[in-house]
Amino acid sequence: MSMDRTVGVIGLGYVGLPLALTAVESGWNVIGFDKNAQLIENLITGQSHIDDVSDSRLAESMALGRFRPVDNVEALSDVDICIICVPTPITTDLKPDLSFVESAARLISTILKPTCVVVNESTSYPGTLRSIIQREIRTARGNLGDIAGYVAAPERVDPKNVEYNHSNTPRVLGGDEVDQVSRVADFYRSMGPEVTLVSSPEAAEFTKLIENAFRLVNISFVNELTPYASALGVDLIEALDAAATKPFGFMKFTPGPGVGGHCIPVDPHYLLDSAKSMDVQLPVLNSAVEVNLGVPEKVIGRVIEILGESSNSKILLLGVAYKDGISDTRETPALPIAEGLIKAGFKVYWSDNAVTSWETAEKYAGQDIDLAIALTSSTNSQLIEIPKNIRIFDCTGRHTNLPNVISYFNS
């Protein structure tokens, strides 16, 4: 293993904080930087803001004396490896927003020691490490000289996954300098996962976009099958379960009211935008994006069929996070569904066991309702509280056992 001992992590969100703590638990000294001073204060006092990090785990890492949360970027001046873990969202017109990556590169450009290697975990289009991060740092450093190297290591975080985490999810790394890639590979291997080295940072960046575009294409495909299965009078979930019994050549994807979160509905836009800049067409992926964007409107259409177009009915959305058991509502399909229902004249409430606040609609507190809609993160524990005379419109395919359920997947 190399002589590296101290790691800097920029951005202590759903990627950065679990990474930082796993590194601490693996024997590394970690300086975690975030611009949010209140977040840093909470971490220092043992309060985690991440679903995958318990307060007790955070406290244990702090007690080891090897984790130092800071909001002063100068504290990163002596780190051996500096890892960028900042958001890469899309704009309202579905274009890549790399402002956080650019800001991170500017912040660290002149403070890093010459022997430091910079790693980018933030998902982006191929060329981001070289054309944005590396260029920004090299330009800003000027006479200081360049740092040791740059490596792309796109994150592979799946929040609330009980089987895979930072210690056992294989990683893919790519960079131009073999020695620097080796240093970074040593760091990731020290935490437990297998590490695959690819020939360039662009190959590593491309790998992450392939992974999530693959998921979007297949989820959009099964969502597209929903009206066809309904017209046939066939239970789509039953057919997908049957298809999944094939032990080769098939991977099961589940339909729903749309996809959400930080990756699947976002990352394909980075791939499409990059391809467009090179005058390359990706019609299958483009169609998958369009299908996914149209799913909430189909859900709203079914609700109007159930309740009537001029209805003043009251609707409860059950589960507004994009995934079971998490508080994250980024890109949740519940948002366009709620907005569309409100626009159509319905009164909308929401309930989610893991979400504490959501500004799109009024939080449910036992008000009378005419229909409950089970969305992406709804659970049976939420549904059994609904009075038996209230219909439940199930968009998950998981609640067919309840007598008052109307399935989105059947006519």
Task: Look at residue 243 and tell me whether its pLDDT is greater than 90.
Answer: yes
Task: Look at residue 1 and tell me whether its pLDDT is greater than 60.
Answer: no
Q: How far apart are CA 386 and CA 399, in angstroms?
A: 13
Per-residue confidence (pLDDT) for residue 273, from 0 to 100? 96
When the pLDDT of each residue in the chain is averaged and rounded to a whole number, the result is 93
CA atoms within 13 Å, Cβ hemisphere of 280: 10
Question: Predicted confidence band at 411 (pLDDT cuts at 50, 70, 90)?
Answer: low
CB 397 within 8 A of CB 226: no
Task: Look at residue 5 and tell me whether its pLDDT is greater than 60.
Answer: yes
pLDDT tens string 356-376: 899 999 999 889 999 999 998
Alpha-carbon radius of gyration of the chain: 23
How much of the chain exceeds pLDDT 70, in percent? Answer: 99
Active-site annotation holder among 82, 85, 263, 395? 263
Q: How far apart are CA 94 and CA 263, in angstroms?
A: 13
Question: Predicted confidence band at 2 (pLDDT cuts at 50, 70, 90)?
Answer: low
CB 94 within 8 A of CB 85: no
CB 24 within 8 A of CB 64: yes
pLDDT tens string 122-173: 999 999 999 999 999 999 999 999 999 999 999 999 988 889 999 999 999 9
Question: Predicted confidence band at 403 (pLDDT cuts at 50, 70, 90)?
Answer: confident
CATH superfamily of 6-198: NAD(P)-binding Rossmann-like Domain (3.40.50.720)
Fold match flag (6-198 vs 236-407): yes
9, β-bridge pairs = 32, 83
CB 192 within 8 A of CB 48: no
What CATH architecture is 236-407? Answer: 3-Layer(aba) Sandwich (3.40)
Residues constituting the chain: 411
- Cβ within 8 Å of residue 11, ≥6 positions away: 33, 34, 84, 85, 86, 87, 100, 104, 122
Domain boundaries of the chain, sorted by first residue: 6-198, 236-407
Task: Look at residue 310 and tell me whether its pLDDT is greater than 70.
Answer: no
Mean pLDDT of 285-302: 94
85 is catalytic: no
Evaluated on CA atoms 114, 119, 124, 125, the torsion sign reads positive
- Cβ within 8 Å of residue 280, ≥6 positions away: none
79, β-bridge pairs = none
Per-residue confidence (pLDDT) for residue 175, from 0 to 100? 97
pLDDT tens string 315-348: 999 999 998 888 889 889 999 999 999 999 999 9
Evaluated on CA atoms 254, 220, 321, 236, the torsion sign reads negative
